[in-house]
């Protein structure tokens, strides 16, 4: 290599490899409406739309002439793959401000091996399907013609990666005005991988065009000057203070070293809160053969004290912040807020962090304010925070009512008082409030049986019967033994015919029924024999445990327990009474004196359904009345006894017939 020839049009390469990721956008983007936003599109491989979504962002430049696209992840099979090398492209906005849905965008700079693994194919297959193996013949032919195959190295080829460029281009379905870029105030999103010296197809850059005044004829053909490949000799590296050296491989295989340019306007500040400084950053770049700026990495810190600006806090524009339901004591917390500011290289005050939580506000308890109306206790406090620099308390409020409120609650207090006669115990009560900030109780009332502040006064707890502590004693005959007969009866209604005749003018007579009470008819009859036994029993009852007891005490009660043996023999059952009906009937008539029967649900149900005093289902006595009648021949009236009604019923309804 004799020397480097810089010209306006960089000498095109005789052969090269370029990376490309092709997507079809899934929505229309209006660059006038939104200067920055999300970018999504289906990935295209081998001229086929894949079931994979590329996700990234777009951003319009400040002058509105260019837009940069980049892809950060690919979603395939419901799994998101974050890309280690984000492909990107910068395109000018020449005409239309809309990018239509379905537009093809070709982005450069992806890690081909990474993309191939996402789609489960080999690197070679990916390169074939993505059309990234692009070879140009001669510089002159590549700059003057286009290929119909879509793999031409010329910028004019629709749907291809531009020769010697990582910027790419839109396909034929894209909106007009998006052609090859001739310049941009953005750097390319195609960032070199500075962490490796590998040059096996991942970091390709054209040699920068350093002399824009050179004759373009010097860069065409094979005699105008040396030609260089697009591959770095080594990764870009700092070669001095705020300077980066680039090293490209020349056509003859030698390395060409050049300096990257610097643009401080592209980057803002990085904040080092541990050191308490804002550090100005810059963007290194170079100009490629198409006179486009290509970024070298991202924004990096500028070295030197002149680029370091101290941070300071200012709380004059901030308010106390309340955060609720964050797991803090009392389910809410107060935070002191502040801004972090600095005076930058331009002499103006900049905001590093807007009003945000600086320190947790703590409370210093002074006293409590009891509110019997709302039944709450409030804290009277001083509020402060600990300055992280000095470690000292900084008071922000004094003698204020804290937002934390604690409700009244009634608690049992004192020892249990046992009432053995009634098998229950009593305990006094007290109203307290629990301060869950200080983790302590506040006494509202004294511990007594009063009803001050609306408290109930006492807690009553019955003793617990212990079956394991029940012991049987002596047995003796009970006081009710014998055999009893039970019947269910009704009154029989009888009648006879009575001659009612008129012996006056009319010689006419008729016979009418005459009703009267007959005898008693038995419909059901059974005989029950009772045999009772009294047994002495000692029963243990567990009292409530006192606070100073390890085990609760037991109170023993001795009493007689009556057991009844009942046997029944049915004599007549025209009413189809079942055994439960008979048993409950006897219990209700006070013959069957088993108290457990009368407390059973079956007995309760029997009483509600069938026991209807004086309104039962069987008549015990009838009443009769006269009915007026007349002779149609003599036109005279007289009374005859042929009407009746029941005046007395038994006490039980009958079960339905089955």
Position 522 pLDDT exceeds 90: yes
For residues 169 and 84, the answer to whether their CB atoms sit within 8 Å is no
Give the tokens for residue 412: 């049992």
CA of residue 37 relative to chain centroid, distance: 28
Q: Which of 267-276, 326-335, 445-454 is predicted least confidently?
A: 326-335
pLDDT band, very low/low/confident/very high, at 433 (cuts 50, 70, 90): very high
Read off the pLDDT of residues 456-471 as tens digits, 9 standing for 90 and up.
889 999 999 998 877 7
Question: Judging by beta carbons within 10 Å of its beta carbon (0-12, 13-18, 19+), is residue 371 exposed, middle or buried?
Answer: exposed
Q: Are 444 and 473 in the same domain? A: no
Q: Which of 48-62, 343-357, 623-637 is predicted least confidently?
A: 623-637
pLDDT band, very low/low/confident/very high, at 102 (cuts 50, 70, 90): confident
Q: Which of 348-352, 533-537, 615-619 is predicted least confidently?
A: 533-537
What percentage of the chain exceeds 90 in pLDDT?
31
pLDDT band, very low/low/confident/very high, at 393 (cuts 50, 70, 90): confident
Q: Which pairing describes strands 349-371 and 376-386: parallel, antiparallel, or unpaired? A: antiparallel
pLDDT of residue 313: 80
Q: Are 401 and 375 in the same domain? A: yes
Q: What is the mean pLDDT of residues 509-522?
A: 81
Provide the domain limits for residue 382: 312-407
| CA-closest candidate to residue 631, choices 507, 495, 498, 496 | 507
For residues 236 and 284, the answer to whether their CB atoms sit within 8 Å is yes
Position 4 pLDDT exceeds 80: no
* Residue 318: inside a domain: yes
Give me the number of domains the chain comprises. 4
For residues 209 and 287, the answer to whether their CB atoms sit within 8 Å is yes
pLDDT band, very low/low/confident/very high, at 353 (cuts 50, 70, 90): confident
CA distances 324 to 208, 321, 329, 332, 400, Å, are 57, 10, 10, 4, 20
Q: Are 53 and 124 in the same domain? A: yes
Dump the DSSP string for 464-476.
Answer: EEEEEEEEEEEEE
Of 194, 211, 228, the residue that ends a domain is 211
What CA–CA distance (Å, rounded) separates 77 from 384? 53
Residue 651: Cβ within 10 Å count = 16
| CA-closest candidate to residue 167, choices 147, 148, 187, 149 | 187
pLDDT of residue 453: 85
Q: Are 370 and 453 in the same domain? A: no
* Residue 263: inside a domain: no
pLDDT band, very low/low/confident/very high, at 640 (cuts 50, 70, 90): low
Position 6 pLDDT exceeds 80: no
Q: Are 353 and 489 in the same domain? A: no
Which residues is 310 bridged to in the sheet? 277
Q: Are 458 and 386 in the same domain? A: no
pLDDT of residue 3: 37
pLDDT, greater one: 322 or 603: 603
For residues 552 and 544, the answer to whether their CB atoms sit within 8 Å is yes
Position 118 pLDDT exceeds 60: yes
* Residue 644: inside a domain: no
pLDDT, greater one: 412 or 232: 412
What CA–CA distance (Å, rounded) separates 586 from 488? 12
Q: What is the mean pLDDT of residues 176-193?
A: 31
Q: Are 595 and 532 in the same domain? A: yes
- Name the 3-class secondary structure at 622: strand
Q: Which of 212-216, 325-329, 348-352, 519-523 is predicted least confidently?
A: 212-216
pLDDT band, very low/low/confident/very high, at 345 (cuts 50, 70, 90): confident
Q: What are phi and psi of 143, to 5 degrees?
A: -90, -5
* Residue 232: inside a domain: no
Q: What is the mean pLDDT of residues 382-400?
A: 79
Q: Are 550 and 498 in the same domain? A: yes
Dihedral class, residue 224 (left if φ above 0, else alpha if ψ from -120 to 50, else beta) = alpha
Query: Of 181-195, 430-444, 510-524, 598-612, which has the strongest mean pLDDT?
Result: 598-612
* Residue 61: inside a domain: yes
* Residue 401: inside a domain: yes
pLDDT band, very low/low/confident/very high, at 629 (cuts 50, 70, 90): low
For residues 256 and 289, the answer to whether their CB atoms sit within 8 Å is no
- Which contacts qualify for 418-423: CB closer than 8 Å, 24 or more apart? 418/543, 418/555, 420/555, 423/462, 423/463, 423/541, 423/555, 423/557
Q: Are 98 and 82 in the same domain? A: yes
Q: What is the mean pLDDT of residues 533-554?
A: 90
pLDDT band, very low/low/confident/very high, at 343 (cuts 50, 70, 90): very high
Position 562 pLDDT exceeds 60: yes
Read off the pLDDT of residues 274-326 as tens digits, 9 standing for 90 and up.
788 999 999 998 876 667 778 888 898 999 999 999 988 887 777 666 555 54
Query: Of 107-111, 389-393, 442-446, which has the strongest mean pLDDT?
Result: 442-446
* Residue 3: inside a domain: no
Of 192, 211, 230, the residue that ends a domain is 211
Q: Which residue has the tokens 């001739």?
A: 182
CA distances 499 to 509, 517, 639, 641, Å, are 7, 20, 12, 11
pLDDT of residue 231: 62
Read off the pLDDT of residues 228-283 as tens digits, 9 standing for 90 and up.
345 677 778 887 788 888 887 776 778 888 888 888 888 999 988 778 899 999 99
Computed from CA positions of residues 355, 356, 362, 366, in that sequence, does the dihedral angle turn out positive or negative?
Answer: positive
Q: What is the dihedral of CA 607, 608, 610, 616, to 10 degrees?
A: 110
User: What's the whole-number average pLDDT of the chain?
Assistant: 75
Q: What is the mean pLDDT of residues 98-110?
A: 86
pTM tops 0.85: no
Position 563 pLDDT exceeds 80: yes
For the packed helices 601-610 and 579-588, what is the interaxial angle rounded to 10 degrees?
Answer: 80
For residues 266 and 283, the answer to whether their CB atoms sit within 8 Å is yes
What percentage of the chain exceeds 70 in pLDDT?
71
* Residue 224: inside a domain: no
Which 3-state string (H, E, C) describes 54-107? EEEEEEECCCCCEEEEEEEEEEECCEEEECCCCCEEEEECCCCCEECCCCEEEE
Residues 6+ apart with CB under 8 A from 565: 530, 531, 532, 533
pLDDT of residue 200: 34
Q: What is the mean pLDDT of residues 501-512?
A: 54
Q: Which of 99-103, 109-113, 510-514 is predicted least confidently?
A: 510-514
Q: Are 28 and 154 in the same domain? A: yes
Q: Which of 100-104, 222-226, 648-652 is predicted least confidently?
A: 222-226
pLDDT of residue 448: 92
Q: What is the mean pLDDT of residues 104-128?
A: 87
pLDDT, greater one: 621 or 225: 621
CA distances 183 to 70, 190, 294, Å, are 18, 15, 10
Position 79 pLDDT exceeds 80: yes
pLDDT, greater one: 273 or 644: 644
Q: Are 394 and 415 in the same domain? A: no
Of 186, 211, 236, the residue that ends a domain is 211
Q: Are 450 and 477 in the same domain? A: no
Q: What is the mean pLDDT of residues 349-370?
A: 79
Q: Which of 169-173, 401-405, 414-418 is predicted least confidently?
A: 169-173
């Amino acid at each position: 290599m004799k020397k480097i020839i810089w010209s306006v049009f960089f000498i095109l390469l005789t052969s090269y490899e370029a990376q490309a990721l092709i997507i079809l956008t899934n929505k229309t983007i209006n660059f006038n409406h939104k200067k920055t936003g999300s970018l999504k599109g289906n990935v295209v491989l081998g001229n086929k739309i894949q079931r994979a979504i590329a996700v990234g962002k777009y951003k319009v430049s400040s002058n509105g002439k260019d837009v940069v696209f980049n892809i950060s992840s690919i979603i395939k099979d419901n799994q998101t793959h974050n890309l280690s090398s984000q492909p990107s492209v910068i395109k000018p906005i020449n005409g239309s401000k809309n990018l239509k849905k379905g537009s093809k965008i070709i982005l450069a700079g992806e890690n081909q091996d990474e993309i191939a693994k996402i789609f489960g194919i080999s690197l070679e297959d990916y390169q074939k399907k993505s059309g990234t193996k692009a070879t140009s013949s001669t510089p002159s032919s590549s700059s003057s013609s286009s290929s119909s195959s879509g793999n031409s190295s010329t910028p004019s080829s629709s749907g291809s990666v531009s020769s010697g460029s990582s910027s790419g281009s839109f396909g034929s379905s894209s909106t007009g005005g998006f052609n090859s870029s001739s310049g941009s105030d953005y750097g390319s999103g195609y960032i070199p991988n500075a962490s490796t010296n590998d040059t096996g197809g991942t970091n390709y850059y054209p040699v920068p065009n350093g002399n824009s005044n050179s004759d373009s004829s010097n860069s065409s053909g094979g005699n105008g000057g040396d030609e260089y490949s697009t591959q770095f000799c080594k990764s870009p590296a700092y070669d001095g203070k705020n300077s980066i050296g680039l090293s490209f491989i020349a056509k003859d295989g030698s390395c060409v070293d050049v300096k990257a340019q610097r643009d401080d306007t592209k980057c803002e500040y990085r904040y080092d809160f541990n050191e308490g400084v804002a550090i100005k950053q810059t963007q290194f770049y170079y100009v490629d053969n198409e006179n486009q700026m290509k970024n070298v990495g991202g924004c990096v810190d500028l070295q030197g004290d002149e680029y370091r600006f101290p941070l300071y806090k200012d709380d004059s524009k901030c308010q106390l912040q309340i955060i609720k339901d964050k797991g803090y004591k009392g389910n809410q917390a107060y935070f002191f807020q502040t801004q972090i500011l600095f005076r930058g290289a331009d002499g103006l005050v900049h905001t590093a962090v807007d009003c945000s939580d600086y320190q947790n506000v703590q409370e210093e308890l002074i006293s409590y304010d009891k509110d019997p109306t709302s039944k709450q206790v409030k804290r009277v406090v001083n509020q402060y925070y600990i300055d992280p620099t000095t470690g000292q308390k900084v008071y922000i409020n004094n003698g204020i009512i804290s937002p934390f409120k604690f409700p009244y609650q009634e608690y049992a207090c004192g020892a249990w008082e046992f009432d053995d006669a009634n098998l229950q115990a009593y305990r006094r009560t007290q109203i307290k409030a629990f301060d869950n900030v200080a983790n302590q109780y506040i006494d509202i009332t004294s511990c007594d049986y009063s009803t001050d502040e609306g408290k109930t006064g006492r807690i009553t707890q019955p003793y617990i019967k212990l079956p394991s502590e029940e012991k049987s004693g002596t047995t003796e005959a009970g006081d009710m033994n014998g055999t009893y007969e039970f019947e269910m009866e009704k009154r029989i209604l009888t009648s006879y015919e009575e001659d009612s005749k008129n012996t006056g003018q009319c010689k006419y007579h008729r016979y009418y029924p005459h009703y009267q009470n007959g005898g008693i008819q038995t419909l059901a009859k059974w005989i029950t024999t009772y045999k009772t036994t009294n047994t002495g029993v000692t029963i243990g009852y567990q009292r409530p445990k006192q606070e100073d007891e390890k085990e609760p005490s037991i109170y023993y009660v001795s009493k007689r327990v009556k057991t009844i043996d009942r046997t029944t023999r049915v004599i007549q059952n025209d009413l189809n009474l079942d055994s439960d009906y008979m048993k409950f009937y006897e219990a209700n008539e006070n013959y069957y004196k088993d108290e457990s029967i009368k407390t059973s649900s079956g007995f309760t149900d029997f009483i509600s359904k069938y026991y209807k005093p004086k309104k039962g289902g069987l008549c015990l006595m009838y009443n009769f009345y006269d009915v007026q009648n007349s002779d149609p021949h003599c036109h005279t009236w007289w009374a005859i006894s042929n009407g009746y009604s029941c005046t007395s019923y038994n006490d039980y309804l009958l079960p339905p017939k089955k």
